[in-house]
Amino acid sequence: MKILVINAGSSSLKYQVYDMSSETALASGRVERIGMDSSILVHEPHHTDETSEVSEILDHTTAIRKVLDKLTDAEVGVVKSIDEIEAVGHRVVHGGETFKGSVLVTSEVKAEIRRLFDLAPLHNPACMMGIKAAESNMPNVPQVCVFDTAFHQSMPARSYMYAIPQVLYKKHKIRRYGFHGTSHDYVSKQAAAVVNRPLEDLKIITCHIGNGGSLTAVQGGKSVDTTMGMTPLEGLMMGTRSGDLDPAIVPYTMSKEDLTVNEVNSMLNKHSGLQAISGTSSDMREIEEGMQNGEPNATLAFEMYEYRIRKYIGAYAAAMDGADVIVFTAGVGENSATVRQRVCEKLTFLGVEIDQELNKIRSKEPRYISTPNSKIAVLVIPTNEELMIARDTYRLANNAK
Ligand code: AMP
């Protein structure tokens, strides 16, 4: 069975095609600047060179039609006919409390995702555009939604409740949901395979640190706490997001700087984090370069970023009364030996011992970076959210047959 995986944003759309008989990706690509002038489609078939083309792509339906044209193209295509694609999997950011796992798309599912627009006003409407566009291009193909929040639905109330009037939870569903669930789920399962122990017996701290970042405490294969909250703003310091801060800063800043709700939201989500402290970049590569050149703001940005990851690792070891494995994943976690080194070198109180040479190796394979003596196994595991989405889509589409 071949499966198309779609990750739709408001003006972009990423895709991958999987052959599930071998779980291999046949092609991937992206459409950017949908609805703006000079949209671009970059198609990367895995058997030949990537192609790109600039044209006017007015909406998501047209974007998917163009993607399907590429997938069936005589030279750069990967299927003979679109009928070979037997299911479509969609990444959906917010599943609220309703979706505790992946589901086949029905009219009820779409209505519920629409009801959740309030909780993810930027993300869920875009996901819905992706679903509708796929349905209109492939009307007889099963569509599946895989939610970023679903993995965290196992959290106990003590982790997901905020200490504010309960009426706000009851009326408006204000609680911690957590995100990157597909990634935390994937790397924790991979970690169990790497250390060759049953997932049910393990306490794992998964560090998904990319442009956005979150840590999760995974006990027995289930999320018991995670750093992102009702929205992806809470927790770690990120590329452009502030992460944790005293909530009183919000009304104080609004009154002092005469900011609107939208302006303060934008400040915390788009103009904070590494970008704000370094004053130059949200990209960890540039922060590290700045630090090597002795730039004080880049150094401070790095130290704040690394310190908060370390603080949460300590917190999650306490949350689970110990930890067997720490996993680093996503752009920074997979690529920055410096961040991993600096986080781990002050975790000696937990018995963490890093092998400096192993930590420097660059590889796409899951690997140890801790020594055999380390009390906690420290691993680098490349995440693969698309494969997880393809697996769930395959399972649900097969069940529906
Ligand atoms: P992601 O959101 O998972 O795609 O991660 C993107 C981020 O990974 C970029 O913004 C960079 O900050 C970071 N990154 C990628 N490669 C490296 C590297 N070699 N060293 C440090 N950070 C990196």
In ligand 1, the atom with minimum distance to the C-alpha of 330 is 3
| pTM, two decimal places | 0.96
Q: Whose CA is nearest to atom 9 of ligand 1?
A: 283
List Cα–Cα distances, 154 to 129, 198, 218, 281, in angstroms.
Answer: 28, 19, 10, 36
List Cα–Cα distances, 72 to 43, 90, 392, in angstroms.
Answer: 12, 20, 24
- Assigned fold of 2-147: Nucleotidyltransferase; domain 5 (3.30.420)
The tokens describing 171, both together, are 């009326």
By three-state DSSP, how is residue 218 classified? strand
Q: Which residues of the chain have pLDDT under 70?
A: none
203-209 and 325-329 strand pairing: parallel
The tokens describing 136, both together, are 């209109």
Q: Give the pLDDT confidence score for residue 122 in this predicted structure.
A: 83
Q: Give the pLDDT confidence score for residue 342 in this predicted structure.
A: 98
- Assigned fold of 198-385: Nucleotidyltransferase; domain 5 (3.30.420)
The residues lining ligand 1, judged by C-beta closer than 6 Å to any ligand atom, are 210-211, 239, 283-285, 330-332, 335-336
In ligand 1, the atom with minimum distance to the C-alpha of 337 is 20
Q: Which is catalytic among the residues 49, 59, 73, 148?
A: 148
Helices (H) and strands (E) in the chain, counts: 15, 14
Q: Give residue limits of the domains in the chain.
A: 2-147, 198-385
Q: Give the pLDDT confidence score for residue 401 in this predicted structure.
A: 81
Neighbours of 289 (CB within 10 A): 14
Place of tokens 């009801």: 115
Q: Give the pLDDT confidence score for residue 282 in this predicted structure.
A: 96
The tokens describing 49, both together, are 């060179």
The tokens describing 300, both together, are 């401070």
Ligand 1 pocket test target in 284, 306, 380 with most atoms within 8 Å of CB: 284
Q: Whose CA is nearest to atom 19 of ligand 1?
A: 335
Residues 6+ apart with CB under 8 A from 170: none
Kindly tell me the burial class for residue 12, based on how many C-beta atoms sit within 10 Å of its own C-beta (0-12, 13-18, 19 or more): middle
What letter would DSSP give residue 124? H
Phi, psi of 12, deg, nearest 5: -145, 165
Shortest CA distance to 176 belongs to which of 190, 192, 158? 158
Report pLDDT digits (tens) over 145-181: 999 999 999 999 999 999 999 999 999 999 999 999 9
In ligand 1, the atom with minimum distance to the C-alpha of 239 is 10
> 190 with 218: CB under 8 angstroms?
no
How many angstroms is it from 134 CA to the middle of ligand 1?
30
Known binding-site residues for substrate equal 91
How many angstroms is it from 383 CA to the middle of ligand 1?
13
Known binding-site residues for Mg(2+) equal 7, 385
Known binding-site residues equal 7, 14, 91, 208-212, 283-285, 331-335, 385
Neighbours of 197 (CB within 10 A): 14
Scanning 52-123, the segments in alpha helix (DSSP H) are: 60-71, 107-115
In ligand 1, the atom with minimum distance to the C-alpha of 274 is 12
How many angstroms is it from 155 CA to the middle of ligand 1?
28
Residues 6+ apart with CB under 8 A from 51: 42, 43, 70, 76
How many angstroms is it from 206 CA to the middle of ligand 1?
17
List Cα–Cα distances, 375 to 13, 23, 74, in angstroms.
Answer: 42, 34, 54
How many angstroms is it from 209 CA to the middle of ligand 1?
8
Q: Give the pLDDT confidence score for residue 21 in this predicted structure.
A: 96
How many angstroms is it from 81 CA to the middle of ligand 1?
36
Q: Whose CA is nearest to atom 20 of ligand 1?
A: 336
> 274 with 339: CB under 8 angstroms?
no
- The strand ranges marked E within 67-171 are 85-92, 103-104, 143-147
Ligand 1 pocket test target in 7, 238, 278, 336 with most atoms within 8 Å of CB: 336
Q: Indicate if 148 belongs to the active site.
A: yes
The tokens describing 305, both together, are 């970023």
Rounded Cα distance, 59 and 360, in Å: 44
Rounded Cα distance, 144 and 16, in Å: 14
